Amino acid sequence: MPRRGVATGAAIALLATLTACLGAGSAPATTAARSPHAIGFSDEAEAVMGTLTAPPTRTFLARIRHGKMAGVIFLGNDWLTRSKVKHITSELQAAACTRGEPLLVALDQEGGIVKRLSWAPPTEAPADMKNPADAHAQAAGAAHALMKSGVDIDFAPVVDTPSSPNNFLGSRAFSRSRTWNAEMAKAFVRGLQQNGVAATAKHFPGLGLARGNTDNGQITINASKSRIEPGLLPFQAAIKAGVKLVMVNTAIYPRLDASRKPAAFSRKIINGILRQQLGFKGVTVTDSLTAPAPAAIAHAATKAMLAGSDLLIWGSESSVEQGYATLVADAPGSSALRARLAQAAGRIRALKTWLTAHGGPSCPAG
């Protein structure tokens, strides 16, 4: 496993170099009014989402102030009460603003069985949403609640198209019709993003043919391209609706990539299908890298980044620390990794800029 700890002197010097060397077409390096003396998050940190399953400790807040993550994902349900969540997000942003750059704050608010804020919309499961107008209204309600709570990314909607009623996604999917799912995806994305919350189409390139959950074991989808490709339609619809993020799953698709790399580690799937074929320009985010398939990959953070994953998430904070340390340790010896980190950081900073412009978090001038 990668060693844990702070960056070496060489890596620290690299961080400054990377920040100054964002590639052509990258977003501005600032997303809010910043102190002229503030030092924003490094490109390594921009790629990393911290994980919280309880209110942040002093150590966690110190890691934010020291620039070791540029976003946080909330996991679990019971601790995110209406009275606590805004205080927690304010505390996180205050720590981040010591560096002059706000955090991304994300959670899964799909509706039905997957709702981190149990008291907030959607009040219906995706499968129970009646039509696109209903999906739009449910997403808009969720966006208002998330904005009031200090959350700016919803890891929703699920736009997979199950091939069987026994698929593990159950009511998390809108339906078993790809054309219906495409219409519902567009409506849900617009309901969130028209109200200032970034939406995430998941789980690319689709788990509708999966026989199990990638969180619980290694999943291989041996279906032909002709069976997989129809399930891309809802993702294409979400992309045309302007979705800001696409979550790439960790299943293996031998007919899409003969190397048998999980999707989040596959250039053919991310760059070939998602970006070139479907034209996605936004932020790619991995599904959990603590799932069995990615957890077995050495230097997983680096390999996912090189494959085209921009934003990396894990299911435990110890894994987050290890992933960040991997990027810091590997970057000095790899110009390809440094280039990818700069590219990913540009996309993530562009997302932060969009969020701030739509009422999301910003840091006061100082």
**pLDDT, tens only, 292-325:** 999 999 999 999 999 999 999 999 999 999 999 9
Task: Confirm if 301 and 287 have CB atoms less than 8 A apart.
Answer: no
Q: Locate tokens 């009040």: which residue?
A: 123
**Can you give the pTM of this predicted structure?**
0.89
Strand partners, 246: 201, 284
Handedness of CA 175, 177, 178, 184 (dihedral sign): negative
Tokens of 109: 């608010």
pLDDT attached to residue 219: 93
pLDDT at 366: 58
- Please check whether residue 11 lies inside any domain of the structure: no
- What per-residue confidence (pLDDT) applies to 200? 98
140 domain residue, yes or no: yes
Asked if residue 173 lies in contact with residue 211, where contact means CB atoms within 8 angstroms, the answer is no
For residue 296, the model assigns a pLDDT of 93
Note the pLDDT tens digit of each residue in 5-40: 333 333 333 333 333 333 333 333 333 333 333 467
Residue 30 domain-assigned (yes or no):
no
Report the pLDDT value the prediction gives residue 215, as an integer from 0 to 100. Answer: 86
Q: Stretch 283-288: mean pLDDT, rounded?
A: 98
Q: How far apart are CA 262 and CA 210, in angstroms?
A: 13
Please report the pLDDT score of residue 32 as a whole number.
39
Average pLDDT for residues 122-133, to the nearest whole number? 98
Q: pLDDT by residue (tens digit) across 239-282?
A: 999 999 999 999 999 999 999 999 999 999 999 999 999 999 99
In a domain, 306, yes or no: yes
Q: Does residue 13 sit within a domain?
A: no
pLDDT at 4 over 60: no
pLDDT for residue 11: 38
pLDDT at 1: 35
CATH of the domain at 300: 3.20.20.300
Number of domain units in the chain: 1
If one counts every other C-beta atom within 10 angstroms of the C-beta of residue 319, the result is: 21
* Residue matched to tokens 């997983």: 300
pLDDT for 359 equals 96
Predicted pLDDT at 20: 34
Closest to 66 in 3D by CA, of 88, 41, 29: 41
Stronger pLDDT, 4 or 356, i.e. the higher one: 356
Residue 366 falls within a domain, yes or no? no
Q: pLDDT exceeding 90 applies to what percent of the chain?
A: 85
Residue 10 domain flag? no
The verdict on residue 266 lying in a domain is yes
Predicted local distance difference test score (pLDDT) of residue 39: 61
Place of tokens 């949403």: 129
Inter-residue contact 116 to 147 (CB < 8 Å): no
Q: Which domain holds residue 247?
A: 42-354
Q: Where are the alpha helices (DSSP H) in 113-247?
A: 132-149, 178-193, 225-228, 233-240
Position 146, amino acid: L
Predicted confidence at residue 26, as pLDDT, reads 35
